[in-house]
Amino acid sequence: MIIVPDPKLLKSLLMLAAVVEARDPFTGGHLWRMSCFAGLLGEKIGLAEDELIQLKLGSFVHDIGKIGVPESILGKTDHLNEAEYAAVKTHALFGSQLINDHPLADLFRTIIRHHHERQDGQGYPDGLADDAIPLHCRIIAIVDAFDAMTSTRPYRRNMPVGQALYRLKQQRDRQFDGALIEHFLELGEAGELEPIVRHSSAGIPMVNCDHCGPVVAASGAVKDGDFIYCKVCGGEFRLHHNSGSFVAEPTGGHGAARQLQPEVDEAPIDELVKQASRALVIAPPLTGY
Ligand SMILES: [Fe+2]
């Protein structure tokens, strides 16, 4: 299989994935963190450059099927009931069907379909087990769960990194690939995960909206004194630069419609497209596909 990605086509798909992600007001910065965590783990296990970039691209697009999940479920501030959880689970299969005839489908189809499979075969949509689950999907499953645990949800606070790693460890060879978990734990012990956890881009920590709860995520292009807005209640925050990072302070004001429209941080997308154009001119089949 030869993959020759068209940069504009690739960027438009990544932008679309980012807008789909922005429909969930509690997961700001999730895609950036996913591609960082997945990239670190992929590097640690020695993936070649072309495989690494395909993994990072896949981590950006994996949840594109959530476009089919109602907003009332994505934005729910309480635990999901059984029917709602079943609706969320449709996103893996639906996403793979959605992009099936896209010219770049070969880059993404497998990750989109199989990122919720489990080592013990209890995952979805196909109940694959062990090495039948493609390597990239086993990586995405780990970093997705880690990001979920270390992020604040409306019904629970974020878990400290050490506790989240401990939970992952408990699920070795049940939910997750045990060997990959060992590598991920080593990244945690080396402190390589901390600068990414609860950040929306490098050096930009997320804050929770004081008024209604969702996270307020700023893009990497912000500067001291910029305003950012909660996309749910419209609450306004001013950013202050503080020892290499940013602090968001609520102003009590509200944003206008233009300021509350979905925002896509283009910088990490442009960087991925650049890396892909370099590494994927002619790419071999992905491992395990
Ligand atoms: Fe997912």
pLDDT of residue 273: 92
Distance CA 54, CA 51 (A): 5
How high is the pLDDT of residue 289? 43
- Using DSSP's 3-state secondary structure scheme, residue 234 falls into coil
pLDDT of residue 3: 65
**Ligand 1 center to 213 CA (angstroms):** 22
Q: Say which DSSP state 284 is in.
A: P
The label of the residue with tokens 């299989």 reads 1
Q: Measure 115 CA to ligand 1 centroid, in angstroms.
A: 6
Secondary structure of residue 26 in the 3-state scheme: coil
Domain ranges of the chain: 7-202+266-279, 204-260
The CA 116 to ligand 1 mean position distance, Å, reads 6
Q: Please say if 66 is a catalytic residue.
A: yes
Place of tokens 């296990």: 45
Q: What is the 3-state secondary structure (H, E, C) of 147-203?
A: HHHHCCECCECCCCHHHHHHHHHHCECCCECHHHHHHHHHHHHCCCCCCCCCEEECC
- Within the chain, strands assigned E span 199-201, 204-205, 207-208, 215-216, 227-229, 235-242, 245-254
Location of structure tokens 């978990």:
181
Ligand 1 center–CA 44 separation, angstroms: 23
**Active-site residue (options: 11, 44, 56, 66):** 66
Tens digit of each residue's pLDDT, the chain (289 residues): 446 678 899 999 999 999 898 877 677 788 999 999 999 999 999 999 989 999 999 999 999 999 999 988 887 878 899 999 999 999 999 999 999 999 899 899 999 999 999 999 999 999 999 999 999 999 999 999 999 999 877 777 889 999 999 999 999 999 999 999 999 999 999 999 999 998 887 777 777 666 666 566 666 677 888 887 777 777 888 888 777 667 778 888 888 877 777 777 888 899 999 999 888 764 555 555 4
Q: The dihedral of CA 105, 58, 110, 51: what is its sign?
A: positive
What contacts 267, CB < 8 A, 6 or more positions away? Answer: 201, 219, 220, 221
Helix (H, G, I), strand (E, B) or coil at 216: strand
What's the 9 CA to ligand 1 centre distance in angstroms? 23
Token look-up 């970039």 returns: 53
pTM greater than 0.75 (yes/no): yes
For the record, the structure tokens of 85 come out as 């959880």
CATH class of segment(s) 7-202+266-279: mainly alpha
- Distance from Cα 251 to the centre of ligand 1, integer Å: 34
Residue 161, pLDDT score: 96
- What torsion, rounded to 10 degrees, do the Cα atoms 126, 130, 136, 140 define? 80
**Third-level CATH fold of 204-260:** Rubrerythrin, domain 2 (2.20.28)
Whole-angstrom Cα distance, residue 211 to residue 209? 5
* Span from the CA of 91 to the centroid of ligand 1 (angstroms): 7
Residue 286 CA, ligand 1 centroid: distance in Å: 20
Separation of alpha carbons 89 and 111, rounded Å = 15
- Identify the H or E element spanning 38: helix 30-44
* Whether residue 262 has a cis bond before it, omega within 30° of 0: no
Q: Determine the distance from the C-alpha atom of residue 248 to the mean position of all C-alpha atoms in its chain, rounded to a whole number.
A: 22
Report d(CA 50, CA 5) in Å as an integer: 12
What is residue 218's predicted lDDT score, i.e. its pLDDT?
A: 67
C-beta separation of 38 from 59 below 8 A: yes
* Distance between CA atoms of residues 158 and 152, nearest Å: 4
What is the rounded distance in angstroms from the CA atom of residue 266 to the CA atom of residue 269? 5
